[in-house]
Amino acid sequence: MYDLYVPILSDLDIPMPYEDAKSLVKEALIPLGEPYGKLLDDSYTKGWIDVYETPGKTSGAFSWGVYGVHPYVLLNYQDKLDDAFTLGHELGHAMHSYYSNSAQPYETSQYRIMVAEVASTVNETLMTYHLLEKETDKMKRAYYITQFLESFRTTCFRQTMFAEFERNSHRMAENGEPLTVESLSEMYRKLNELYYEGAHVDDNIAIEWMRVPHFYNAFYVYQYATGLCSAVKLADDILHHGAVERYLTFLQSGGSDYPIEELKAAGVDLTKKESILASLDVFTQYVDELDELLK
């Protein structure tokens, strides 16, 4: 299993100055329409974004919606392609907050955790598609695809395994079964053997569950998987099925309805397997292309 942490390709050194990153994000998100693009321009020019590292500044990247004003984005930009994707990701959160706050009263302006990563991942997916659309260099294409596929593995596949472990743990408690280190570790080991069939599952993996802090926030992790699958389906609908207005309406929904109903109105019905399978079809498509590129 340790081999899964070895990159398929070495990192490519693709410099991305901040001005170029702004252009990349703007171009990739053109399918979302002119009003969305105008808001991106505002974010660049009207003080929404704290871009670079400074002494005493916190690390990482964040977005924070402020009702009645505009969102704020914190970055620690270092002129790398990954930083450009971080910009697109955080602006996805920012635009979700902006549209939500603009359309909803304060009481229903906050979108729920279940949809919190959808807009940010839609942006990242559109950026990936944009790069692939114009890239002819085989190694760069392979690199972009590898990064995209790895997000599927860690966000969809692995988090689904985590969610199954969490669900089974709660079922044990509901059935009156004792939750011991031994019983939880044995269950976690078996799940790894199921999900990573064909890989050597080291005995030590059985205790990995102890280091996952998300399990202390009940039923959180599955939303990573539903969020990614929803975002990939929405990005495809935006590009190929004229779903921009449905998507923007979703951004405006805030917390006005149940998340699953908001997604359904946008074109992603998570009560049916087809919405999940549609995103997995995209995964399969890019696995096949990567195989061809690396022959």
d(CA 180, CA 83) in angstroms, rounded, equals 42
* Structure tokens given for 84: 């450009």
Q: Give which of 219, 258, 107 is closest to 266, Cα–Cα.
A: 258
The catalytically annotated residue of 19, 90, 186, 261 is: 90
Catalytic site residue 90? yes
Catalytically annotated residues: 90
